[in-house]
Amino acid sequence: MAGGRMYTSSCSGGGDSSTLSVLIQSQKGSCSSQPLDASFLSGPSPSPSPFLGSRSMVSFEDIHLANGSNRPFFRPFDHDENGDDDFDEYFHQPEKKRRLTGDQVQFLEKSFEVENKLEPERKIQLAKDLGLQPRQVAIWFQNRRARWKTKQLEKDYEILQNSYNTLKADYDDILKDKEKLKAEVLLLTDKLQLKEKEDKNTELCAVKNTLSQEPPQKPIAESASEGEVSKVSIVACKQEDISSAKSDIFDSDSPHYTDGVHSSLLEAGDSSYVFEPDQSDLSQDEDDNLSKNVLLPPYIFPKLEEADYTDPPTSSCNFGFPIEDHAFWSWSY
């Protein structure tokens, strides 16, 4: 026996002298261990012969008090019709597990609700009240606690699952919102980009018209030939475009535009600005629009040559968000 534990389930002895306990099994039972519970050892046993534990002691007084019936605590008798024959046969059987009656279980359940742990005094009292062995009461509480724990785990699991489902739904909603907002920002970015290009074109045309009406006061490059002047103008326009586009790239931080400008630069044969190639989902239409806007006619623009292309990106295309808000693009759970 582990830990020096002594089990009382198969045999018990003695009786509660305060009641008219009848030691039924003492008449014919046999057992292999000694009675152990002190409360049941206190009284002199009416018979030296041992008896079966689980059905060893039945207080008929208790039974009568509880139900007014002869054998209310023994389920096998609940649906017996043969009376004494079965009763006799029942106690002639080799030891079998027997379920507690409904009344006993109900009593124990009520007791369990009050307190799910069992102090020795309470155990003995319950055993007396129910006509059971204290050990049986202890086992019942033990098993009841195990069942309660299992149920509790199931409840906790259910609560956790509901919580998870709620969170998942929220997450999905937020993800949808995020995608929606992202698409909206891209759309607005496109519009803003187009508007800026259009404005720039208008401005350039106006300046060109002004210049073409006035006689050239000074050549752009005094030593430059006509072909060189043309070349310089191309570079000027290109650089202006690059500057503008570059600014847009930094401002929007969008792969969309990075790709568009990059391809434009490559078309222009200018490799001075090398941007990381990106996987853009830019549509063909958008790409065309961008190309049209970026590739401007080679107007001569002396002032544009002086432009500082290393300027940090302007914040003109931040869409009202601070720069750090661009973390939006990489925002995720």
Interaction between residue 118 and DNA (CB under 7 A): yes
| β-pairing verdict for 58-59 and 51-52 | unpaired
- In angstroms, the CA 316 to CA 28 distance is 103
Part of the chain binding DNA (CB under 7 A), chosen from 39-47, 131-139, 283-291, 314-322: 131-139
Part of the chain binding DNA (CB under 7 A), chosen from 138-146, 214-222, 306-314, 317-325: 138-146
Q: Which is nearer to DNA, 75 or 231 (CB)?
A: 75
Q: Which is nearer to DNA, 151 or 182 (CB)?
A: 151
Q: Where on the phi/psi map is residue 148: left (φ > 0), alpha (ψ -120 to 50), or beta?
A: alpha
Residues in the chain: 333
Part of the chain binding DNA (CB under 7 A), chosen from 63-71, 130-138, 259-267, 298-306: 130-138
Interaction between residue 136 and DNA (CB under 7 A): yes
Angle at 113 (CA atoms; ends 109, 114), nearest 5 degrees: 120
- In angstroms, the CA 77 to CA 101 distance is 10
Closest CA to 59 of 134, 130, 135, 8: 130
**Which of 22, 60, 75, 208 touches DNA by CB under 7 A?**
75
- In angstroms, the CA 126 to CA 123 distance is 5
Query: Under rule CB under 7 A, how many of the chain's residues touch DNA?
Result: 33
Site for DNA in 139-178 (CB under 7 A): 139-140, 142-143, 145-147, 149
**Which of 71, 128, 135, 197 touches DNA by CB under 7 A?**
135
Interaction between residue 92 and DNA (CB under 7 A): no
- In angstroms, the CA 94 to CA 29 distance is 9
Please give the distance of CA 243 from its chain centroid, rounded to a whole number. 48
Can you give the binding site for DNA, defined by CB under 7 A?
1-7, 9-10, 53-54, 75-76, 96-100, 105, 117-118, 120, 135-136, 138-140, 142-143, 145-147, 149
